[in-house]
Amino acid sequence: MEKLLNILSKNLENGNYLLILIAIIVIVIFKFEKIFNSFDNIKKNKLNFLFDLEKKSFIDESTKESIQEAINNDIFRITTGIRTNKYMREKILNLYTEKNGEVTLFAIRNAMSFLKIENDTLIVEINRYDQIWSIFNLIFGFITLILALIMIFILPTTDGSIQERITGFIIGIGLLFITFPILAEVRAYISAKRIKKILN
């Protein structure tokens, strides 16, 4: 670890920011499995705790029902990535089954913010404002993405002090973190629009 820090420090002094970025990405990729396994173990431990709790004789029936619902919600969230209640869960599964996979669970997960239940029916609620906001997010998202790439890859190669180049690099990373949620909202709108078209 000390050798790696020395190499990164040397490259930082020489202004090799691209090499530093690649090294950081490689480190994150190798450590990603451990990080993922840690989160996965936390989820499994929670489920095991609920399974064990459900078997306890001193738990009354109404509490057991709540535990079973929590288990079902967690399993549904782990398998689909969708966090919701029992009623919405049933409607989502009905939609998925009725459309024979034409509407995927991935698309439903993306469009969750636009899904509503009205008169016991699952509907997609999109208005003119959502369309305008989606176009704005798409434009703004691409602008921030381009700026981020310039800050990360181009600015460090230009003339300037180390402090300016490091600042630019950090701003670029920050812009990336801003960009992803913005483009995720655009993806949500596109998924919702597609589902609505299929439902209609």
* Cβ partners under 8 Å of residue 172, min gap 6: 147, 148, 149, 150, 151, 152, 155
In one-letter notation, the amino acid at residue 109 is: R
Are β-strands 121-124 and 115-118 bridged in parallel, bridged antiparallel, or unpaired?
A: antiparallel
Residue 61 domain flag? yes
Q: How far apart are CA 59 and CA 61, in angstroms?
A: 7
Band (23; pLDDT cuts 50, 70, 90): low
Q: Are 72 and 166 within one domain? A: no
* Cα 170 from chain centroid (whole Å): 22
Number of neighbours of residue 39 by Cβ within 10 angstroms:
9
- pLDDT computed for residue 140 by the predictor: 94
Average pLDDT over residues 181-196: 93
Total domains, the chain:
2
Q: Give pTM, 2 decimals.
A: 0.69
Quote the pLDDT of residue 194.
92
Q: In this structure, are 115 and 200 located in the same domain?
A: yes
Q: Are residues 139 and 56 in the same domain?
A: no
Residue 89: inside a domain: no
CB proximity list for 175: less than 8 A, separation 6 or greater: 144, 145, 147, 148, 151
Q: What is the pLDDT of residues 66-110, one digit of tens each?
A: 888 888 888 888 888 888 888 899 999 888 888 877 888 899 999
pLDDT at 130: 92
Domain that holds residue 130: 101-200
What are the pLDDT digits (tens) for 119-172?
Answer: 888 899 999 999 999 999 999 999 999 998 888 787 766 776 777 777 777 888
Domain boundary among 45, 80, 115: 80
Residues 119 and 60 in one domain: no
Q: Is the same domain home to 73 and 135?
A: no
Joined tokens for residue 118: 């009205």
Report d(CA 164, CA 30) in Å as an integer: 30
Identify whether 95 is part of a domain.
no
Nearest-angstrom CA–CA distance, 23 and 115: 42
Same structural domain for residues 121 and 197?
A: yes
Does residue 131 share a domain with residue 59?
no
Is residue 64 predicted with pLDDT exceeding 60?
Answer: yes
Beta-bridge partner residues of 122:
117
In which band, very low, low, confident or very high, does the pLDDT at 9 lie, cut at 50, 70 and 90? Answer: low
Is 128:119 a contact under the CB 8 Å cutoff?
no
- Give domain status of residue 74, yes or no: yes
pLDDT grade, residue 26 (50/70/90)?
low
> What per-residue confidence (pLDDT) applies to 70?
85
Q: What is the pLDDT of residue 192?
A: 93
Give the number of other Cβ atoms within 10 Å of residue 115's Cβ: 20
pLDDT on residue 114: 94
In a domain, 20, yes or no: yes
139 and 199 belong to one structural domain: yes
For residues 36 and 109, state if they share a domain.
Answer: no
Q: Is 90 part of any domain?
A: no
On whether the CB atoms of residues 141 and 183 are closer than 8 A, the answer is yes
